[in-house]
Chain A
Amino acid sequence: GEDVEQSLFLSVREGDSSVINCTYTDSSSTYLYWYKQEPGAGLQLLTYIFSNMDMKQDQRLTVLLNKKDKHLSLRIADTQTGDSAIYFCAEKSRAGTASKLTFGTGTRLQVTL
C-alpha cells in the first residue's frame, strides 16, 4: 500500500529558508503535490510536480524530486510569518480503476521573529 511520511514539526526564523521533506513508497506515482493548511481552514494546493521532473520553481517555492530515493522536498525562500501552517505532501495512487491522493502526515511549520 501507499505510505507517505513527513517530519511533524519545523521551526525557522523569519527570513531564513525552510525545507520540508517527504518520502513516499509508490514508485508508480506520476504526480506529487504540496498543500498548505492554515489554522481553521481547508487545504490549499501550493504546487505540484510531474514525476519526470527533478525540480520546479514558483516564486519563493522550490520543489525537488529525487525519484530514485522517493524523496520530495519543498523549499520556501525568505520565510515569512504568514507561511506558518501545516504542509502536506501527497502522491497520486490508484483506488481500483480510479486514482486518488494519498496525503502525508503533515509538517507544522512555525516561523519565529
Chain B
Amino acid sequence: EADIYQTPRYLVIGTGKKITLECSQTMGHDKMYWYQQDPGMELHLIHYSYGVNSTEKGDLSSESTVSRIRTEHFPLTLESARPSHTSQYLCASSKRDRDLEQYFGPGTRLTVT
C-alpha cells in the first residue's frame, strides 16, 4: 500500500476562508501532483511538481496555489474559498524515473458553503 497521506479527509468551510490542504508522502518520490475531481468523476490536473522549489500549473486553471519546500510535502492553499471550489482534491506522487506510475492519496472532499 502506498504511503501517501492527505489531511483533512473532509472539510466544510464558509466562503472567504483561507484553507490549506495537506499532502505528504514517505516514499521519497520526487514528483507530486494535485488533481481536482468533479462530482461527475472526471479528474483534472491542477498542479504538479518535479522536485523541491519546482511547481507548475496543470491543465485546469485553478485559483489555488502550491508550494514544495520539502520533498515529502506538497500543500495546496486557497486564499479565499468560494462555493465553486467545492470538489474532491486528490494528491499523487511518483518516482523520478517512473513518473507515470502514480500513487494516490485518499483525497480531501472540500465543501464551501
Interface residues of chain A, those whose CB is within 8 Å of chain B, are 8, 31, 33, 35, 40-45, 48, 86, 88, 92, 95, 98-103, 105-106, 108
Number of B residues contacting the other chain (C-beta, 8 Å)?
A: 25
Residues of A within 8 A of B101 (CB): 45, 48
Residues of B within 8 A of A99 (CB): 99-100
A103 to B104, CA, bound (A): 13
Interface residues of chain B, those whose CB is within 8 Å of chain A, are 4, 6, 35, 40-43, 45, 48, 50, 56, 58-59, 90-92, 99-107
- Distance in Å from the Cβ of A23 to the closest Cβ of chain B? 15
Residues of B within 8 A of A100 (CB): 45, 48, 58-59
Residues of A within 8 A of B102 (CB): 43, 45, 101
A100 to B58, CA, bound (A): 9
Q: A100-B58, A106-B41 are in contact. Are A42 and B105 (CB under 8 A)?
A: yes
Q: A95-B48, A103-B43 are in contact. List 19 more A-B contacts (CB 8 A).
A: A31-B100, A35-B104, A40-B107, A42-B6, A42-B90, A42-B106, A43-B43, A43-B90, A43-B102, A45-B102, A45-B103, A88-B43, A95-B45, A98-B56, A99-B99, A99-B100, A100-B58, A100-B59, A106-B41
A42 touches B45 (CB 8 A): no
